[in-house]
Amino acid sequence: MKRKVGILFGGKSAEHEVSLQSAKNIIEAIDENKYDVVLIGIDKEGKWHLSKASQFLLNEENPKLIALNKSNEGIAVVPGKATNQVVALGDQQLDQLDVIFPIVHGTLGEDGSMQGMLRLANLPFVGSGVLGSAVSMDKDIAKRLLHGAGLEVARSITVSRNNRSTVQFEQVKAELGTPLFIKPANQGSSVGVSRVEHEDDFNRGLTEAFQFDHKVIIEESINGREIECSVLGNEDPEASLPGEILPQDGFYSYEAKYVDEKGAILEAPADLNDEQVKAIKEASIQAFQALNCEGLARVDFFFTDDGRIIINEINTLPGFTRISMYPKLWEVSGLPYDQLIDRLIELALERHHRDLELKHSIHDD
């Protein structure tokens, strides 16, 4: 009997187009002999659409123009333990879904919001739960937890809208040096990120970052290799071979990640010795567990010439596009793309069954 998998993609965040590309690749790779796929696209206004695989995207071969082809079939999520937690609002009949594969990157997809909704609807889903998603998405909170777990993170200053006027470039420069990176605290895929060296750049960078979040991170620049490692699992996670990003334009921008295939060289696996590989894999698993992650995550590091392993960030729903590092690293580690999708679905169902065994009140039998 085939499992019915809902692929949830799109969303209101600045990473909408990345999510469309990720969904396209998952749909093309998933084993049709094992799964019946239901496509649920979320447009930029937040409306959910029941889509058909043959026509769910517009301009699908052009990352700059790719768009969701909106349908006339809406979707509703019904909380509780009813047999149909996701229902169609139009003429189509929608059978019970066995599991959701959310590939909605960024705000309202990767930050715990969607995970909370899926839990209320009693639907198994791929990836971290509410807590792991929320703390990993918030760079400020993640840094605090990682530091508390004994892992090294880059020095930074957190700025809110309330205290923005008190933060001066010369003061920050004296504390963190230059160049600096300014980032929205709750964004991914380098959206809203600026590399700054001068006061004018600094002010523009803050203005840009505050367009995407109410809290901003000003971070020191680390002179080191950009290493990434993929993690897979629930209570007993495992790490892939590490890979290396070799940006061609100064830093690994949004364009380099998802639009311009020549924007960066992805070396998978990275040129590291056995001891270095072991240390990075161990740090990846420690970070994964420190932030209460489950299912999958990509851990991004700076690896310095003197051997320091400094965590940059953790992505709990990393990109699945054809140039994304997460699936590439598992492929070179011996786990092909289609088998990776199988394993992620298995982990989602395992976690759901484990959670069902918990008592939620003193009256539960």
Contacts of 113 (CB under 8 A, 6+ apart): 107
Which CA distances in Å does 342 have to 109, 206, 349?
21, 42, 11
Same domain, 288 and 147: yes
Q: Is residue 358 part of a domain?
A: no
Number of domains the chain is built from: 3
DSSP 53-83: TTSSEESTT-TTT-EE---S-BEEE--SS-S
Same domain, 236 and 298: yes
Give me 202's structure tokens: 């600094």
Same domain, 147 and 282: yes
Domain holding 211, by residue range, is 155-220
Q: Is 217 helix (H, G, I), strand (E, B) or coil?
A: strand
* Helix axes 274-290 and 139-148, enclosed angle (nearest 10): 110
| Cα angle value 356/293/288 (rounded, 5°) | 145
Which CA distances in Å does 60 have to 38, 55, 57, 65, 77?
18, 10, 6, 8, 27
Same domain, 185 and 115: no
Cα-to-chain-centroid distance, residue 25:
16
Closest of 283, 276, 282, 270 to residue 333, by C-alpha: 270
pTM of the model: 0.90
DSSP 146-209: HHHTT-EE--EEEEETTTGGG--HHHHHHHH-SSEEEEETT--TTTT-EEE-SHHHHHHHHHHH
- pLDDT number for residue 161: 93
- Whichever domain contains 267, its CATH number is 3.30.470.20
Same domain, 216 and 226: no
| Calpha distance 146→151 (Å, rounded) | 5
Same domain, 256 and 215: no
CB of 65 within 8 A of CB of 59?
yes
- Whichever domain contains 72, its CATH number is 3.40.50.20
Cis ω for the linkage preceding 179 (within 30 of 0): yes
Same domain, 76 and 114: yes
- pLDDT number for residue 247: 72
- pLDDT number for residue 126: 98
Same domain, 213 and 226: no
- pLDDT number for residue 91: 60
Tens-binned pLDDT, residue by residue, of the chain (365 aa): 899 999 999 998 878 998 999 999 999 999 999 999 999 999 999 999 988 877 888 888 888 889 999 887 888 777 765 555 677 766 666 778 899 999 998 888 999 999 999 998 889 999 999 999 999 999 999 999 999 999 999 999 999 999 999 999 999 999 999 999 999 998 765 778 999 999 999 999 999 999 999 999 999 999 999 999 999 999 999 999 999 998 766 555 555 554 555 557 889 999 999 999 999 999 999 999 999 999 999 999 999 999 999 999 999 999 898 778 999 999 999 999 999 999 999 999 999 999 988 877 566 65
Q: Is residue 341 part of a domain?
A: no
Closest of 183, 237, 228 to residue 323, by C-alpha: 228
- pLDDT number for residue 173: 96
CB of 133 within 8 A of CB of 142?
no
- pLDDT number for residue 260: 54
- Whichever domain contains 162, its CATH number is 3.30.1490.20
Same domain, 263 and 200: no
